[in-house]
């Protein structure tokens, strides 16, 4: 673990500086010129026409957003064909419906259009959308449970904010309230708490990564979902490691802040997904579910408190940590219910996963330092117990919210 830490912070040795001659620049120009020539040749003489076997162009449509309003159904559709695509007709529940497309005409690769259908959808029931392209290829989209999509009006803005506070801010605050009690713990108790934090973070890492991959699979192929998720996670991990280690290994309030940031990013992605699934009517929001989320996230507050038990941070920092860890859930809910596309939730969750990994590394190294026994502390009974307790706690409380 420590090897990874070092390699990620050590700067690469700078290449020896040579005098820049004209030949130096020539070797930038020549490869680019070859590329240009190849493109020109391909376009002008079409030497690959032999591969054209009469097959129709590949067509792909991805449904990114569904908005159910009082004037019918609106769909944001992204094209991913090998050539620009044309939507010819749209069926709702196996019936052709009038629709308007904005902007009209062919949809370029990667481009999006809005389709508006003046369809009298029925609250609580399922509807099936089928788009027929000019070649007769069809793309299906299911609305599992039709409910009115939240709009930008203040009422839903406020209620979503409140919901975000319940699932994000409140539990972190409650967790941090254990701070005075936890302060009295000894070395083993401290190890237990830090390991508990690692355990809960490990759970979140797996959870976030799994969810990110799942969402990425729904996104248009052009976003290369799985690759995007892995790259975003690695990038955020490396970036946060670099930032965190600028002034030595983080500990105390700095470490707590990083934990809060990691959890916050995770909560942002989760908020996006929750907001979107409620907007899509995928889940009815029961009191039970909200309480489940609250309970689930209390552990996060305890985790944030662990590294600052031996320091005495100012009171305002607790408010700051709460906002940093829980606030993004509110923001995620707002954005998720208004502007939803699976790739953005996947991206947020992937960045969160990278951030969580960084925190796991840092909390682990902090545990070793504070304990003083080095690697041995990682396999101490109190550490093992904490790890298991953290994962088990998260797993058990997650049972309330997984449907």
Partner 1 sequence: MVDIGGWLRDTVSRRGFLWGGMVAAGGTVVGTSGASSQAGHTQHGMSAASAVAPHLAAHGAMITVGDVDSDRNGFDPTVVLTEWETGTLSKLPDGQTLRTFEITAEDKEIEIAPGIMFPAWTYNGRVPGPALRATEGERLKIVFRNYGSHPHSMHFHGIHSARMDGVPGAGLIGPGDEFVYEFDARPFGCHLYHCHALPLKRHIHKGMYGAFIIDPDPALHPEQANVARSRLLGSPENAGFQEMVMVMNAFDTNFDGENEVYAVNTVAHAYAKRPIRILKDKPVRIYLVNMTEFDPINSFHLHANFFDYYNQGTTLTPTLTTVDLITQCQAERGILEFTFKEHEPGLYMFHPHQSEFTELGWVGMFDVVEAVS
How near is the Cβ of 121 to partner 1 at its closest, in Å? 8
How near is the Cβ of 133 to partner 1 at its closest, in Å? 8
Q: What is the DSSP letter of 221?
A: G
How near is the Cβ of 197 to partner 1 at its closest, in Å? 28
Point out which residues bind partner 1 (CB under 8 A): 70-72, 86-91, 94-101, 104-105, 116-120, 123-124, 132-138, 147-148, 155-156, 159, 162-163, 166, 278, 284-290
Nearer to partner 1, 166 or 366 (CB): 166
Per-position DSSP letters for 74-122, written without gaps between them = EEEEEE--SS-B-EEEEEESSSEE--EEES-S-B-TT-EEEEEE-----
How near is the Cβ of 118 to partner 1 at its closest, in Å? 3
Q: Is 140 exposed, middle or buried (0-12, 13-18, 19+ CB in 10 A)?
A: exposed
Nearer to partner 1, 56 or 381 (CB): 56
Q: Is 329 exposed, middle or buried (0-12, 13-18, 19+ CB in 10 A)?
A: buried
How near is the Cβ of 320 to partner 1 at its closest, in Å? 25
Residue 159 in tokens: 């209620």
Question: Quick check: 228 and 216 in contact, CB under 8 A?
Answer: yes
How near is the Cβ of 278 to partner 1 at its closest, in Å? 8
Question: Quick check: 122 and 281 in contact, CB under 8 A?
Answer: no
Q: Residue 233 contacts by C-beta under 8 Å, 6 or more apart in sequence? A: 209, 212, 350, 351, 353, 354, 357
Nearer to partner 1, 119 or 366 (CB): 119
Nearer to partner 1, 156 or 370 (CB): 156
Is residue 70 left, alpha or beta, with left meaning phi > 0 and alpha meaning psi from -120 to 50? alpha
Query: Cα(59)–Cα(86) distance, rounded to whole angstroms?
Result: 10
How near is the Cβ of 259 to partner 1 at its closest, in Å? 27
Question: Quick check: 266 and 352 in contact, CB under 8 A?
Answer: yes
Nearer to partner 1, 49 or 70 (CB): 70
Residue 62 in tokens: 């991805």
Nearer to partner 1, 137 or 392 (CB): 137
Q: What is the DSSP letter of 72?
A: E
Nearer to partner 1, 32 or 155 (CB): 155
Nearer to partner 1, 71 or 142 (CB): 71
Nearer to partner 1, 9 or 283 (CB): 283
Question: Quick check: 352 and 211 in contact, CB under 8 A?
Answer: no
Question: Quick check: 359 and 201 in contact, CB under 8 A?
Answer: yes
How near is the Cβ of 324 to partner 1 at its closest, in Å? 23
| CA 77 to each of CA 27, 144, 355, 368, 390: distance values in angstroms, whole numbers, following the listed order | 43, 18, 31, 51, 42
How near is the Cβ of 400 to partner 1 at its closest, in Å? 13
């Amino acid at each position: 673990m420590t090897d990874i830490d070092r390699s990620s912070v050590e700067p690469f040795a700078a290449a020896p500086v040579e005098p820049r001659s004209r030949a130096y620049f020539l070797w930038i120009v020549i490869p680019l010129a070859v590329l240009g020539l190849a493109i020109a040749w391909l376009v002008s003489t079409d030497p690959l026409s032999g591969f054209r076997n009469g097959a129709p162009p590949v067509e792909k449509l991805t449904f990114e957003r569904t908005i159910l309003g009082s004037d019918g159904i609106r769909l944001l559709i992204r094209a991913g064909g090998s050539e620009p695509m044309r939507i010819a007709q749209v069926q709702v529940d196996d019936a052709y419906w009038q629709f308007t497309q904005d902007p009209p005409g062919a949809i370029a690769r990667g481009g999006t259009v809005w389709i508006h259908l003046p369809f009298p959808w029925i609250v609580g029931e399922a509807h099936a959308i089928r788009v027929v392209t000019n070649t007769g290829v069809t793309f299906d989209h299911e609305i599992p449970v039709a409910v009115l999509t939240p709009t930008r009006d203040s009422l839903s803005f406020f209620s979503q904010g409140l919901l975000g506070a319940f699932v994000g801010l409140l539990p972190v605050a409650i967790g941090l309230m254990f701070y005075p009690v936890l302060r009295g713990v000894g070395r083993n108790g401290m190890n237990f708490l830090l390991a508990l934090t690692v355990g809960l973070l490990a759970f979140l890492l797996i959870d976030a990564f799994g969810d990110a991959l799942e969402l990425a699979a729904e996104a248009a192929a052009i976003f290369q979902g799985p690759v995007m998720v892995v790259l975003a996670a690695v990038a955020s991990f490396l970036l946060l490691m670099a930032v965190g280690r600028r002034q030595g290994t983080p500990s105390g309030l700095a470490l707590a802040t990083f934990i809060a940031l990691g959890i916050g990013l995770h909560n942002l992605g989760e908020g996006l997904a929750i907001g979107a699934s409620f907007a899509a009517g995928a889940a009815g929001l029961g009191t039970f579910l909200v309480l489940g989320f609250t309970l689930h996230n209390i552990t996060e507050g305890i985790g944030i408190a662990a590294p600052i038990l031996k320091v005495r941070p100012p009171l305002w920092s607790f408010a700051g940590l709460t906002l940093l860890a829980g606030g993004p859930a509110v923001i995620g809910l707002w954005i998720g219910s208004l502007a939803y596309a699976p790739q953005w939730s996947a991206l947020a969750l992937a960045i969160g996963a990278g951030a969580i990994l960084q925190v796991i590394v840092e909390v682990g190294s902090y545990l070793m330092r504070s304990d003083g026994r080095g690697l041995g502390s990682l396999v101490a009974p109190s550490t093992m117990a904490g790890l298991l307790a953290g994962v088990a706690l998260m797993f058990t409380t997650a049972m309330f919210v997984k449907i």
